[in-house]
Structure 1
């Protein structure tokens, strides 16, 4: 009987230690920003929210808009490459990619569906979000991701962050990476594996 309680106590300490380790892993990342929720509609017209997509999954997010004439096309192509690398590493069930439109008035679900179809991508773990107001997305980007999301005056273009953002399963923004030219894919995969 005594042997069983020693084994149970050892198992419990290992369980508690594993919990502490995952929290300590988050502490080792440079950013620790609570990400708020964002109610949205995805490219398939389904109602969703960032917290729903984040539930039980690590999120890699970026900000885009479909009329973008500079950085969004390479960023989306790079996210498609990242999706493939995540699949090759056997991590696709643990990761949710999220591209958040900063131009919700133009970027309807239909527009986002057409835009996403230009890339070799899988809907299963990559959502393109819209369905909120411009004020909501500006505030959300500023507060939760510490990045701008504002229309350029007198233009159909928007200023927005060009990073890929790593969000833990606990909804905490931990790190950002270059999203436009030469994203550090291997570093992203390593960071994801640290959080598993």
Structure 2
């Protein structure tokens, strides 16, 4: 029964993730430094977005590792005008301090570009993910885990989702770099 439930939720996650682009609604949350971050703060700079949580036992550690690797590639090519934004799907557990400790476990080339966000309820972030990223967030009723999509989203300078990519396996790093470069250069 649990396996069937998981497969049904995974199918829904994949279906929602495949949907088109949208403009992100205004938000103001707290990052892992305890500082407010809003959509307005991010405007003018493209950003990579994802959903994660710090006590994740499955996809979040590799996804965070993948984002760190993407940042290494961007830094190596001199691409600097971007941010990385991760929305916690478990905001009750994920305090700024918890998220700061989580990020410190990774070899992040430039932590100043990262914003791990919290400061909302779990139902609020589930609605935000669905409405803005066509992504799925749902508590697993049989554990302390949260089921969520594994996509990375490239958001343009105006706050519109321009592209989405697999963030877990077969991450298209070259495509992400080219798409980000294109946004920065105005192509």
Same fold (TM over 0.5): yes
Q: Secondary structure at the match of 2:106?
A: coil
In 1: Cα distance, 2:63 partner to 2:69 partner: 10
Listed as ranges, the gaps of 5+ residues in structure 1 are 1-29
Q: Secondary structure at the match of 2:112?
A: helix
Give, in angstroms, the shift of residue 38 of structure 1. 2.4
* Alignment partner of 1:36 out of 2, 5, 25: 25
1:105 aligns with 2:80: no
In 2: Cα distance, 1:154 partner to 1:70 partner: 15
Map 1:2-21 → 2, pairs under 5 A: none
In 2: Cα distance, 1:48 partner to 1:143 partner: 19
Determine if contact 1:39/1:132 at 8 Å carries over to the other structure: no
**For the pair shown, which has the larger CA radius of gyration, 1 or 2?**
1
Give, in angstroms, the shift of residue 192 of structure 1. 1.0
Q: Secondary structure at the match of 1:139?
A: helix
**RMSD of equivalent CA atoms:** 1.3
In 2: Cα distance, 1:39 partner to 1:133 partner: 13
* Alignment partner of 2:38 out of 49, 58, 77: 49
Give, in angstroms, the shift of residue 150 of structure 1. 1.4
Runs of 4+ in 1 over 2 A off after TM superposition: none
Q: Which residue does the alignment assign to 1:90? A: 78
The count of residues paired between Structure 1 and Structure 2 equals: 165
TM-score (norm 1): 0.80
* Alignment partner of 1:77 out of 62, 65, 70: 65
In 1: Cα distance, 2:43 partner to 2:77 partner: 21
Give, in angstroms, the shift of residue 44 of structure 1. 0.8
* Superimposed CA distance per residue, residues 80-116 of structure 1 (whole angstroms, 9 cap, x where no aligned partner): 0011111112112x11111110000000001000000
Q: Which residue does the alignment assign to 2:9? A: none
